Amino acid sequence: MTKSNLMNTYNRFDVEFVNGLGTKLYDTDGNEYLDFVSGVAVNCLGHSHPSITKTLFEQSKSLIHISNLYYNDKQNKLAEKLIDLSNHDKVFFCNSGTEAVEGAVKIARKYGKVKSGKDKNLIIHMKNSFHGRTMGALSITGQPKYQESFKPLISGTIEAQFNNINDIKEKINSNTCAVIIEPVQGEGGIIEASIDFLKELRNLCDEYDALLIFDEVQCGIGRLGTFYAYQKFGVIPDVICLAKGLGGGFPIGAVIANNKAAQVISHGDHGSTFGGNPLACAVSLTVINELISGGIISEIDKKAQYFKDKLEKLKEKHSYINEICGKGLFIGLRVNIDPKKIITKCFEKKFLVIGAGKDVLRLLPPLNVSYDDLDKCVSILDDVLSDFTE
């Protein structure tokens, strides 16, 4: 395999994929894999969805890129759609999750400046969070293993305990410009924020005039059963970061903000050359249309319940599973053996899964996954866990 030319950023599996269809991937030898990684929660419609393929083809014939010096019809339509679906007012487009977080951080810093001069610049983030790999997002990623080699990080960041409102109360003050949180922590191990915690966090942010930012890069775009993750919790943030599922596999990210937050941004404050290009926006419009009008999101709760029931049965059978965690199709199995060992065995059985945190097996099927494929997943996990019994 052509390993030698790639920088050593990922510990890759020894497989080269050439083809995909729905939940299936095919390697160079034609072997079929069941894919419950979905490009890490990206391919929400599975591989080679015909509507995405068609949009890519059609849109590329009319317009791919023009820069943000001009308006383009697809960007305007996508912005309108995202705002219609939200409680918010403005959108900024970018190309990835980390870029969406950088955008949100800049909005927060400018908000603090505009509101009360130079000292209102502190950003509270959660322990165990993951917000991305660029220096700003890395600085608010509460996991030392990602940060250690790259210090000094940006200053003015404060770590607080997830789901611990007293810790936030101790750390928030009038110099706080924002609190950023994943409503369900992804990389950290599929850990849900409690509704009460988020509600109190909302109140604290209002009290200290700090922006509440939800990083929905992984848990948004239908994965929890609502289009935006915040809608599952009934707590409305000021700013939302989106990416991963937004383009169904085509790179696109977005920052959504209410007027209170967005109004501080003026010409030249921020930008992105590729952000919101017509091709990416056209694909995203197609994805959203499939997810909503295609009835995919409205079926998630039912599908998730079916899946969770099966997984609970699996838990009864295998003492290696401690807990089924997560919401919607954002599911984790908390296990008491090294998840890497399970992932390796799954790979040998041509089933792709991913870990999260130290002890979680993360299941991220496309949102249009069939009941049949959910059954297959459970049956393979049953086999794999049975192997450990010996």
Ligand X SMILES: *Cc1c(COP(=O)(O)O)cnc(C)c1O
Residues binding ligand X (CB under 6 A): 96-98, 101, 130-132, 182, 186-187, 215, 217-218, 243-244
> Cβ closer to ligand X: 20 or 97?
97
Tokens of 363: 């299941």
Provide the minimum distance between the beta carbon of 9 and ligand X in the complex, in angstroms, as a whole number: 12
Q: What is the DSSP letter of 22?
A: B
> Cβ closer to ligand X: 98 or 368?
98
Provide the minimum distance between the beta carbon of 147 and ligand X in the complex, in angstroms, as a whole number: 14
CB 137 within 8 A of CB 101: yes
CA dist 212 → 104, 164, 196 (Å): 10, 16, 15
> Cβ closer to ligand X: 130 or 307?
130
Provide the minimum distance between the beta carbon of 11 and ligand X in the complex, in angstroms, as a whole number: 16
> Cβ closer to ligand X: 12 or 313?
12
CB 347 within 8 A of CB 323: no
CB 373 within 8 A of CB 381: no
346's CB contacts (< 8 A; 6+ apart) are 352, 353, 380, 381, 384
Provide the minimum distance between the beta carbon of 100 and ligand X in the complex, in angstroms, as a whole number: 7
CA distance 239 to 91: 10
Provide the minimum distance between the beta carbon of 352 and ligand X in the complex, in angstroms, as a whole number: 17
Provide the minimum distance between the beta carbon of 50 and ligand X in the complex, in angstroms, as a whole number: 25
Q: What is the DSSP letter of 3?
A: -
Provide the minimum distance between the beta carbon of 243 and ligand X in the complex, in angstroms, as a whole number: 5
302's CB contacts (< 8 A; 6+ apart) are none
Provide the minimum distance between the beta carbon of 97 and ligand X in the complex, in angstroms, as a whole number: 2
Cβ burial of 385 (10 Å; 0-12, 13-18, 19+) is: buried
> Cβ closer to ligand X: 240 or 385?
240
Residue of 233, 185, 179, 188 lying closest to 206 (CA atoms): 179
CB 35 within 8 A of CB 41: no
Q: Which residues pair with 323 in a beta bridge?
A: 334
Provide the minimum distance between the beta carbon of 355 and ligand X in the complex, in angstroms, as a whole number: 13
At 124 the three-state DSSP class reads strand
> Cβ closer to ligand X: 46 or 97?
97
> Cβ closer to ligand X: 130 or 228?
130
Residue of 26, 24, 49 lying closest to 296 (CA atoms): 49
Provide the minimum distance between the beta carbon of 185 and ligand X in the complex, in angstroms, as a whole number: 8
At 1 the three-state DSSP class reads coil
> Cβ closer to ligand X: 120 or 125?
125
CB 91 within 8 A of CB 255: yes
Residue whose structure tokens are 């791919």: 64
> Cβ closer to ligand X: 120 or 188?
188
Q: Which residue number has the CB closest to ligand X?
A: 97
> Cβ closer to ligand X: 182 or 238?
182
Residue of 347, 367, 138 lying closest to 246 (CA atoms): 367
Taken in order 106, 284, 202, 185, is the CA torsion positive or negative?
Answer: negative
